[in-house]
Homo-oligomer: A and B are copies of this chain.
Amino acid sequence: MLTKNKIKLITSLSQKKNRDELGIFVAEGTKLVLDLATFFHCSLLIATQRWFYENKKIKSDEQIEVEDNDLKKISNQKTPQGVLAVFLKPKNQWTKEFLVQKLSLALDDIQDPGNLGTIIRIADWFGITEVFCSEHCADIYSPKTVQATMGSLARVKVYTVNLVEFLQICKNELPIYGTFLNGENIFDKQLSQNGIVVMGNEGNGISAEIEKSVNQRLLIPNFPAGQNTSESLNVGVATALVCAEFRRRT
């Protein structure tokens, strides 16, 4: 049975401070829940009788069967999809030695939860398994971001770090890439197979403090070069173009 206390707990998880305090977050929908359950510890699984019947078993500390109407009370979706689960936030650890082999992403104050989720999905598509968020990024565990990752959060490790310090630690051993209007055309530039690609805030781009650590300045050219076109690309789109160009070369 879905008690009042459980309803209160779950709706409280729409707020970051509660997610942080309890170390848990919510995900909804069959694909997302099944994807996350393969990597994350599920502490509470709430679903309809039909959902339990139709889907494979998930290991969870507690399971509650509910009616569709109950799901509506706790769902963040317009149309609840039969299942809602609470997962423990993973405790991801990184080491410099591990990063040195890889291409990773660093996000400098990405504000929009949907953009952040889309970027995680793009990272996953391009086999980038480590994403470093500055402390002022949108919260990766907000319901909107979790949903926008469409399950990619299961395969991509996301870390919240002091990005200035993080890049200062990395920059002596790894190329740090960033996109700028006065960078070098990415399609003509030599790219390494490892490194960290910094993507900037939606409105302001890469901040001055972070820019100091970027030692490889890239430009995504518009077409025809120099003509009056859109002023910018959405940050998710820009991330995809940069990742694709690194991976195309390998």
Stretch of A88-96, A203-211, A221-229 that contacts chain B: A221-229
Contacts of A241 in B (CB 8 A): 240-241, 244
Task: Check if A222 sits within 8 Å of B126, measured CB to CB.
Answer: yes
Count copies of this chain in the complex.
2
Q: Which of A53-61, A149-157, A162-170 is the contact stretch?
A: A149-157
Say what secondary structure dominates the interface of chain A. loop
In the complex, how many angstroms separate the beta carbon of A31 from the nearest chain B beta carbon?
A: 8
A5 at the interface (CB under 8 A from B): no
Chain A interfacial residues counted at CB < 8 A: 32
What 8 new A-B contacts, CB under 8 Å, besides A150-B231, A236-B236, A240-B240? A122-B237, A127-B223, A127-B227, A150-B230, A155-B229, A223-B250, A237-B237, A241-B241
Which positions in A face B, CB cutoff 8 Å? Answer: 118, 121-122, 124-127, 150-152, 155, 187, 220-224, 227-231, 233-234, 236-237, 240-241, 244, 247-248, 250
